[in-house]
Amino acid sequence: MAKNLTDTEIKTAKPKEKKYSLSDGNGLQLTIKPDGKKIWEIRYTVDGKAKQTTAGNYPTVSLKDARKKRDELKAKVSTGIDPIQEKKEIKAIIKLDEVKKFNTFKLCAVDYFELIRSKISEGHLNKQWGRLSSNVIPFIGEELMDNISRDKILKCLNRIQERGAIEEAHRVYNLVDQVFTYAVENKRCERNTAKDISTKWTLQPSTKQHYPTITDPVEIAKLLKAIDTYKGEYTVRCALQIMPYVALRPVNIRAMEWSEIDLDKNLITIKADKMKMKREHLVPLVPKVVEILRELHKLTGDGQYCFSASRSRTRPLSDNTLRSALILE
């Protein structure tokens, strides 16, 4: 039977050229390394296999504490538990819990929007994020994806319906579905709970909004004449005058930059990041538009924007300026 160690023996044990061990019996030993470190080790057998684990360093872990750890470990072994395997499983569970903290709806939504950022325009991206941040994130944003039930999603959609925004409810559902699809594909949740909702039976049918347009040549003539006689701000009038010729969205016109225009080649080159489809867009200019822009250049050519705001040359016309100007009597 091995002799039990004493504190005096442990304290006076000196390092040697090679590591060596002092046995305390019943699988506990103290290993002294060449650098002087003294490490407690416990040996045990599980299913006929000899194994070994550490129990801390001396003197941080005293002889008394090392023996207590040995006895606790041996007690587990006697019931068929492998302490090393148990420790690995506990670490795996802790790691999984830590990972899950990053699988909330809000964080998954943020990562999804970062993924699609380069694929859609910034304006559209902000509008889509606004829908989620107003209608969904305040209610389920901090919940883990796997804990979000069908009813919780539906409750968010019903809040939107109750205020009469039927089309908005359908759009929000599509966004939630996209976030869940992203999370499933990236193993951040088990399944797409949004698929449990049938919009056909849970949401009121959306009606497509038809935007009125003028097709009567006589009415078009009246509109063009009204634009030419517009008495408001000069930059607004110029913007209105070129709209029928370039067929661009109002945002691309009001935010048009002089760097995008080549008056010698009669061409506008709009960068991809300004376009909804994220592709560079070329617009040839007729002489009338070139003439308007040359005159406008005398006023705003020293700034960034062609149609700059009257109060600040560093900003383009506001979103409502052109819309309001078109409400002509």
**Mean pLDDT across the chain, nearest whole number?**
86
**13: pLDDT strictly greater than 70:** yes
**208: pLDDT strictly greater than 80:** no
Considering only CA atoms, which of 86, 21, 84 is closest in space to residue 58? 21
Q: Name residue 106's amino acid.
A: K
Least-confidence region, from 105-119, 252-266, 303-317:
303-317
Instruction: State how far Cα 108 lies from the chain centre.
Output: 6
Q: Name residue 56's amino acid.
A: G
Q: What is the mean pLDDT of residues 255-260?
A: 91
**88: pLDDT strictly greater than 80:** no
Instruction: State how far Cα 92 lies from the chain centre.
Output: 26
161-201 tens-digit pLDDT? 999 899 999 999 999 999 999 999 998 899 999 999 999 89
Percent of the chain clearing pLDDT 90 (strictly above): 40
Q: What is the model's pLDDT at position 193?
A: 95
122-170 tens-digit pLDDT? 778 888 999 999 999 999 998 999 999 999 999 999 999 999 899 999 9
105-202 and 217-325, same CATH topology: no
Considering only CA atoms, which of 204, 180, 214 is closest in space to residue 194? 180
**83: pLDDT strictly greater than 90:** no
Q: Which pLDDT band holds residue 1 (cuts at 50, 70, 90)?
A: very low
63-73 tens-digit pLDDT? 999 999 888 88
Topology of the domain covering 7-81? Double Stranded RNA Binding Domain (3.30.160)
**99: pLDDT strictly greater than 60:** no
Q: What is the model's pLDDT at position 329?
A: 42
Indicate the class that CATH gives domain 217-325.
mainly alpha
The CATH code belonging to domain 105-202 is: 1.10.150.130
Q: Please report, for the chain, the start and end positions of each structural domain, with discontinuous segments joined by +.
A: 7-81, 105-202, 217-325
Q: Which pLDDT band holds residue 27 (cuts at 50, 70, 90)?
A: confident
Query: DSSP labels for 261-325?
Result: EETTTTEEEE-GGGSTTSS-EEEE--HHHHHHHHHHHHHHTTSSBTTB-SS-TTSB--HHHHHHH
Q: What is the mean pLDDT of residues 23-51?
A: 89
**47: pLDDT strictly greater than 50:** yes
271-294 tens-digit pLDDT? 887 777 777 889 999 999 999 999
**96: pLDDT strictly greater than 60:** no
Q: Which range, 37-46, 117-126, 201-210, 275-284, is most confident?
A: 37-46
User: Apex CA 269: angle with CA 294 and CA 243, to 5°?
Assistant: 60
